Amino acid sequence: MARLVFDIETSSLPLENFDDAQLEYLFRDAQKLPDEIARQARQSELRQQLNLYPLTAQVVCIAMLNADTARGQVLFTAPDFETNGEEAGPVEFVPCMDEVELLTAFWDVAKHYESITTFNGRGFDVPFVYLRSAILNVPISRKDWLGYRYQTEPHCDLAEQLTFYGVSGRDGAGRRFNLDFYCKAFGIESPKSHGVTGLDVNSLLAAGCFREIAEYCLRDVQATVLLYRIWKERLSGIK
């Protein structure tokens, strides 16, 4: 059964995209603070959080690998990006003119896979690409990825599996850690070991460092593939 492992990177849309009512709604929490310094600090926090919501952010990169072969693609938005066409290897980097082209290419690949694996994809990646695709009127080839939470088909979310579906709550033995922490615990090279994190995506995008974003996203997926193999061998009931 073909299994796709993927991860996305997102970046907030320009504030100019929103009207006054939307901006008031987005930053209302900060405006309630009487202290100017505290208000500015809260506004900065809220601005950073805009990266997390499909109504206020866009998909700028999707990395995909076949769980068995580790072959795949990295799709990334990069207007006017030039490639020398000499790239070779198991992973193809594919620049896209915009988010519509990126999501269209993603769903074209997705339709060839029966199952997916993610890290926190049920809570973030899948609903994000669903809503962004709907907003941009990009046809979705797989609408069953959220499915039933307590099954690993068609979607195995390792953040769910490694916490045993949150069995012990926020502070128990099964508490959730981030991907970086799980990788280090299981002896996998952390995708953050190269000095780039998700917090850097906005600044990298602004600087035109599109390939750096793509390579970081790929490292996330490569780590997820290795973590999935460990989970499958040591913890799952899959044979």
Retrieve residue 73's tokens. 């693609």
If pLDDT is split at 50, 70 and 90, which confidence band does 238 have?
low
The answer to whether the CB of 102 falls within 8 A of the CB of 119 is: no
Supply the pTM of this predicted model. Answer: 0.94
Fill in the amino acid letter for 188.
I
The answer to whether the CB of 10 falls within 8 A of the CB of 59 is: yes
**27 vs 89: CA distance, rounded Å:** 45
The answer to whether the CB of 55 falls within 8 A of the CB of 131 is: yes
β-pair type (72-77, 57-66): antiparallel
Beta carbons within 8 Å of 84's beta carbon, 6+ residues apart: none
What pLDDT is recorded for position 147? 86
For residue range 41-86, what is the model confidence (pLDDT) as tens digits? Answer: 999 999 999 999 999 999 999 999 999 999 999 999 998 766 654 5
Q: What is the mean pLDDT of residues 168-185?
A: 92
Domain architecture of the chain: domains with CATH: 3-18+56-234 (3.30.420.10)
For residue range 17-26, what is the model confidence (pLDDT) as tens digits? Answer: 999 999 999 9
